[in-house]
Amino acid sequence: MKIFIDTANLDMISEINSWGILDGVTTNPSLIAKEGTDTKTRVNEIARIVDVPISAEVMAVDAEGMVKEGRELASIHPNVNVKLPMGIEALKATKVLSSEGIDVNVTLIFSAQQALLAAKAGARYVSPFVGRLDDIGMYGSEVIRQITEVFYNYGFDTEVIAASIRGPIHVLEAASAGCDIATIPYNVLQQMVSHPKTDEGIRNFIKDYEKSKK
């Protein structure tokens, strides 16, 4: 499974890249706003520090505007893919942009039916939001499983990005479902590294080593 980081923070992106596990970066307008910058500037900066796909979201809500903004974002760097919020306008824009060779990530996906339509329109990625489904009492990981199954059944090339990940268990469930990608916040990546028994084991190895030197 590919691992993307879900952030617009340059230090976090650099740090995770240094771990040797980074396959991509996803941003969204909220993550960009948190950094006090704008999408074009930040995507440009990200493209200078890592050589992986970077999702940049449009603010337009009509197909024509999404296409225009999408072309501008894609022209920043060949690694940039255009994030469009799911809807009829996004489907129309996906068709146009994908036919021009621009990769589209259809975001704010909450059902397999939405994912199916996005894939048919030519999306390179779909981003179902696991945590936000859990927030409303649904089982987000089940939607990941359904989409993965549907895409497998019909041989779609569209990759599934498990998004809105809130903890390591979401990553495990996405991986178990055969999901292509998980886009993971920095704190969850840190949680995935740790295990109390690993820490205990390291402490004991050091203790035994120190004892043997006496």
Q: Is 107 in the site for ligand E4P (CB under 6 A)?
A: yes
- The rounded distance, in Å, linking the Cα atoms of 128 and 141 is 9
Position of tokens 């996405």? 174
Q: How far is CA 14 from CA 63, 95, 135, in A?
A: 34, 33, 30
* Minimum distance, C-beta of residue 129 to ligand E4P, in the bound complex (Å): 6
Residues near ligand E4P (CB under 6 A), total: 11
Q: How far is CA 25 from CA 57, 98, 173, 197, in A?
A: 12, 20, 20, 31
The helix/strand/coil state of 4 is strand
Measured from the CB atom, the residue of 92 and 132 that comes closer to ligand E4P is 132
- The rounded distance, in Å, linking the Cα atoms of 123 and 103 is 7
Measured from the CB atom, the residue of 54 and 102 that comes closer to ligand E4P is 54
DSSP 8-state code for residue 155: T
Q: How far is CA 83 from CA 167, 184, 213, in A?
A: 23, 17, 58
Look up 83 and say whether it is catalytic.
yes
- The rounded distance, in Å, linking the Cα atoms of 145 and 187 is 24
Measured from the CB atom, the residue of 96 and 109 that comes closer to ligand E4P is 109
Q: Is 164 in the site for ligand E4P (CB under 6 A)?
A: yes
From residue 118 to residue 157, the character string flagging contacts with ligand E4P as x (rule: CB under 6 A) and all else as - is ---------x-x-xx-------------------------
* Minimum distance, C-beta of residue 72 to ligand E4P, in the bound complex (Å): 20
On whether the CB atoms of residues 67 and 89 are closer than 8 A, the answer is no
Q: Is 28 in the site for ligand E4P (CB under 6 A)?
A: yes
From residue 175 to residue 214, the character string flagging contacts with ligand E4P as x (rule: CB under 6 A) and all else as - is --------x-------------------------------
Measured from the CB atom, the residue of 127 and 148 that comes closer to ligand E4P is 127
Give the catalytic positions in this structure.
83
- The binding site for ligand E4P (CB under 6 A) comprises 6, 26, 28, 107, 127, 129, 131-132, 163-164, 183
